[in-house]
Amino acid sequence: MSVIHLSAGSEKPAPVEGKARLYSMKFCPYSQRVRLALGVKKVPHEIVNINLKSKPEWFLEINPSGKVPTFVDVDGKVIDDSLAIINYLDERYPEPPLYKAETKARDLELIEKYKAVTDLYSASVHKKIDKPFKEIFGQFLDYFKEYDEELGKRGTSLFGGNELSMLDIATWPWVEQSKLLTLIYEQPLEYDKKDFPHFIKWVDDIRLQQVIQDNYTPYRDVAKYVIPQLNGEEVDINSI
């Protein structure tokens, strides 16, 4: 599905009365986190996609870092950074809550640890790691072992029980996109399913959630954006 990403020289879209606005990019896993939280909380919002290879001048005025996701609430408050935004949304729009009191501390700990996974993913996707793919993927598996064990201890299908929680939302986009690595490295994601029984069930169960399905990002489309750029070619995101 092609959606327009606005570029330098474009006009800033007029705000829509009563709606928050998310500046996003359709393949950005950090933006996907925010789209999921907005969906779970049914926050009235619109999405304005940004061409990150040619950023509109007006977007840089809103957020000089030029990064998406950037969230502008109905009252004009601007927040950037996916984790800051989803935590803000959880306070500003409390229903349904994304943390449970009894697991909040552990959720925060695992969300913090997940930065290592997202950093490793970015470095792998941009081929900034000079290691065989098996070793890189082995590192991912080491991280995911802890998430598998946590699900086992909780005995629930999702981290949040039967409902999506902050930890589900914060981790999912990279898992959903993970097969992108098979196209970049032209190798399979090899692991023993017996080592990750709870995690594999989580993947199956989270995919049943409507909000997850509504925000699905096909990894083959992400590849059409990423792989030509690795080969030094320019890609028009609006053509994918």
Ligand X SMILES: N[C@@H](CCC(=O)N[C@@H](CS)C(=O)NCC(=O)O)C(=O)O
- The set of catalytic residues is 28
Which residue in the set 81, 163, 205, 221 belongs to the binding site for ligand X (CB under 6 A)? 81
Span interacting with ligand X, options 77-85, 104-112, 194-202, 227-235, rule CB under 6 A: 77-85
Chain residues 82-101 in contact with ligand X, contact rule CB under 6 A: 82-83
In a 10 Å sphere around its CB, with 0-12 CB exposed, 13-18 middle and 19+ buried, how is residue 99 labelled?
A: middle
Our finding on whether 25 is near ligand X (CB under 6 A) is: yes
Structure tokens at 205: 């169960």
Q: Which of 148, 156, 229, 131 is CA-nearest to residue 192?
A: 148
Q: Which is nearer to ligand X, 28 or 223 (CB)?
A: 28
Nearer to ligand X, 9 or 155 (CB): 9
Strand-pair partners of 79: 71
**In terms of CB distance, is 28 or 151 closer to ligand X?**
28
By CB under 6 A, the count of residues binding ligand X is 11
- 144 binds ligand X, rule: CB under 6 A: no
Q: Can you give the binding site for ligand X, defined by CB under 6 A?
A: 25, 28, 30, 52, 66-69, 81-83
